[in-house]
């Protein structure tokens, strides 16, 4: 009796645990256990790459929560991801200590280079992991709350909202480029040594970061699923379809949107924080408007309004990107654009809806055509 999704049933849990187990146990084992020359061994470079995909998947989930369910298309979600990443990057910078090029105990290298004498106040506290972890969620959350409060209260919707979110991320891009902002300017934050006392370059640390990312992805999925399966999730769907009706039913459209937008930004920030130690750098290019548009493409390709689709889309598009930017780099942007066109015109329900779409296509078609399509 439900058009809106339910929380996981027994079958859903079985799938969730099976895939979760495979990703968190089998993948690291295949990297750690077999001998280095064994054919079974998963190459070392794949672990941080898979970890990166998991972070992108969290980001895609966060966008799908607001776009796919509440109909709010943010084209600036990369900003929340990057802010979470910077918060983590600041912690990692503080962990370098005297091991930097200038061996300065109180200042990161780039500040020494800029001839700064003392640590800016907003770097205080980032020596402590717990504080940094808190900021990973709080900074994107507060920005989303304040930005959303003004935007939703002014009833900015649809394409206008998308445009101002692009402006938001572009403004942050320009700000973070500036050296005097104190975030490393153009170069960003890099040269990390260790996280919680573990060397970030060690394969065991990379495996641990990968596992934490996959667990965070699973947690983000469950959180989003719980929200969309709640009555609030149905209010979000209702907002997407008929916002005025929701208001006349006595719901505050602003409050519901603000909740979804803030939760979404926090998730994006967590994704960014896990991303940074695995790629080893965070710089202003993460704020670039094109990055944020790409997130929307992952979600569209995967299947908007299905959380599984967001996961699939983020992983599939990024795997394709990893391979193609190596094999035929100049083709990548055309393929990305082509995918978006295809997802819009040919398979609007994305990868997640593809099986169902093929099934309905197959019925009215003669057997020969159906065989071809099914492939």
Partner 1 sequence: MTAMASPSAPLLYLDGVTVSFDGFKALNGLSFMVERGELRSVIGPNGAGKTTMMDVITGKTKPDEGEVFFDGTVDLTRLDESEIANLGIGRKFQKPTVFENLTVFENLELAQKCPRGNWHTLLATLTGTQRDAIDRTLETIGLSGREGALAGALSHGQKQWLEIGMLLIQDQQILLLDEPVAGMTDHETSLTAELILSLAGERTLIVVEHDMEFVRNLGARVTVLHEGSVLADGTIEHVQNQPAVIDVYLGR
The whole-angstrom separation of Cα 84 and Cα 276 is 9
Q: How far is the CB of 253 from partner 1 (least distance, A)?
A: 7
Q: How far is the CB of 65 from partner 1 (least distance, A)?
A: 13
The whole-angstrom separation of Cα 151 and Cα 139 is 18
Q: Which is nearer to partner 1, 243 or 286 (CB)?
A: 243
Give the burial string for 233-258 (b: 16+ CB within 10 Å, else e): bbbbbbbbeebeebeeeebebbebbb
Q: Which is nearer to partner 1, 103 or 242 (CB)?
A: 242
Helix (H) or strand (E) holding 334: helix 332-345
Q: Which is nearer to partner 1, 7 or 170 (CB)?
A: 7
Q: Which is nearer to partner 1, 41 or 240 (CB)?
A: 240
Q: How far is the CB of 5 from partner 1 (least distance, A)?
A: 11
Stretch that binds partner 1, among 15-23, 89-97, 232-240, 287-295 (CB under 8 A): 232-240
Give the CA distances from residue 213 to residues 133, 204, 206, in Å, rounded to whole numbers and listed in that order.
Answer: 14, 14, 10
Instruction: Give yes or no for residue 159 binding partner 1 (CB under 8 A).
Output: no
Three-class SS state of 5 = coil
Q: How far is the CB of 263 from partner 1 (least distance, A)?
A: 10
Residue from the set 253, 273, 295, 343 that interacts with partner 1 by CB under 8 A: 253
Instruction: Give yes or no for residue 259 binding partner 1 (CB under 8 A).
Output: yes
Q: Residue 188 corresponds to which tokens in the numbers above?
A: 């960003």
Q: How far is the CB of 241 from partner 1 (least distance, A)?
A: 5
Q: How far is the CB of 89 from partner 1 (least distance, A)?
A: 32
Give the CA distances from residue 108 to residues 117, 274, 280, 283, in Å, rounded to whole numbers and listed in that order.
Answer: 11, 21, 16, 15
Instruction: Give yes or no for residue 227 binding partner 1 (CB under 8 A).
Output: yes
Q: How far is the CB of 10 from partner 1 (least distance, A)?
A: 19
Q: Which is nearer to partner 1, 121 or 248 (CB)?
A: 248
Q: Which is nearer to partner 1, 169 or 262 (CB)?
A: 262
User: Which residues within the stretch 233-252 sit at the binding site for partner 1 (CB under 8 A)?
Assistant: 234-235, 237-238, 240-242, 244-252
Which residues of the chain form beta strands (DSSP E)? 189-190, 194-195, 198-199, 281-282
CA angle 116, 120, 123 (to 5 degrees): 125
Instruction: Give yes or no for residue 201 binding partner 1 (CB under 8 A).
Output: no
Q: Which residue in the block uniquely carries the two structure tokens 């969290």?
A: 58
The whole-angstrom separation of Cα 303 and Cα 306 is 6
Q: How far is the CB of 23 from partner 1 (least distance, A)?
A: 29
* DSSP state letters, 55-108: HHHHHHHHHHIIIIIT----S-HHHHHHHHHHHHHHHHHHHHGGGSTT--SSS-
Residue from the set 154, 204, 230, 344 that interacts with partner 1 by CB under 8 A: 230
Q: How far is the CB of 367 from partner 1 (least distance, A)?
A: 30
Q: How far is the CB of 228 from partner 1 (least distance, A)?
A: 11
Torsion angles phi and psi, residue 91, rounded to 5: -60, -45
Give the CA distances from residue 218 to residues 31, 51, 120, 145, in Å, rounded to whole numbers and listed in that order.
Answer: 21, 13, 36, 25
CA dihedral (323, 325, 330, 336) positive or negative = positive
Instruction: Give yes or no for residue 2 binding partner 1 (CB under 8 A).
Output: yes
Stretch that binds partner 1, among 26-34, 133-141, 204-212, 254-262 (CB under 8 A): 254-262
User: Which residues within the stretch 3-42 sit at the binding site for partner 1 (CB under 8 A)?
Assistant: 3-4
Q: Which is nearer to partner 1, 244 or 368 (CB)?
A: 244
* Residue ranges binding partner 1 (CB under 8 A): 1-4, 227, 230-232, 234-235, 237-238, 240-242, 244-253, 255-256, 259
């Amino acid at each position: 009796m439900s058009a809106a999704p339910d929380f996981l049933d027994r079958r859903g849990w079985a799938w969730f645990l099976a895939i979760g187990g495979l990703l968190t146990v089998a993948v690291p084992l295949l990297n750690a256990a077999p001998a280095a020359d064994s054919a079974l061994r998963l190459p070392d470079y794949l672990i941080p790459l898979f970890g990166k995909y998991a972070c992108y998947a969290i980001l895609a989930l966060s966008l799908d929560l607001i776009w796919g369910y509440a109909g709010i298309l943010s084209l600036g979600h990369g900003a929340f991801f990057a802010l979470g990443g910077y918060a983590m990057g600041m912690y990692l910078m503080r962990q370098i200590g005297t091991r930097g090029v200038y061996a300065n105990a109180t200042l990161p290298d780039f500040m020494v280079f800029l001839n700064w004498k003392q640590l800016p106040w907003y770097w205080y506290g980032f020596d402590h992991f717990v504080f940094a972890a808190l900021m990973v969620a709080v900074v994107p959350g507060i920005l989303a709350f304040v930005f959303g409060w003004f935007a939703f209260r002014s009833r900015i919707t649809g394409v206008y909202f998308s445009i101002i979110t692009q402006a938001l991320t572009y403004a942050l891009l320009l700000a973070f480029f500036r050296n005097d902002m104190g975030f490393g300017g153009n170069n960003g934050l890099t040269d990390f040594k260790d996280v919680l006392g573990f060397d970030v370059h060690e394969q065991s640390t990379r495996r641990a970061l990968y596992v934490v990312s996959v667990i965070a992805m699973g947690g983000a999925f469950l959180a989003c699923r719980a929200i969309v399966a709640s009555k609030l999730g149905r209010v979000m769907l209702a907002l997407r379809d008929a916002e005025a009706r929701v208001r006349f039913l006595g719901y505050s459209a602003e409050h519901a949107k603000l909740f979804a937008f803030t939760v979404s930004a926090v998730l994006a920030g967590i994704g960014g924080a896990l991303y940074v130690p695995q790629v080893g750098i965070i710089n202003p290019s993460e704020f670039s408007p094109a990055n944020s548009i790409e997130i929307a493409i992952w979600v569209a390709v995967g299947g908007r309004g299905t959380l599984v689709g967001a996961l699939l889309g983020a992983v599939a598009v990024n795997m394709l990107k990893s391979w193609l930017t190596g094999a035929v780099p100049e083709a990548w942007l055309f393929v990305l654009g082509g995918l978006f066109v295809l997802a819009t015109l040919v398979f609007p329900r994305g990868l997640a809806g593809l099986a169902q779409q093929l099934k309905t296509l197959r019925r009215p078609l003669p057997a020969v055509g159906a065989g071809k399509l099914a492939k």
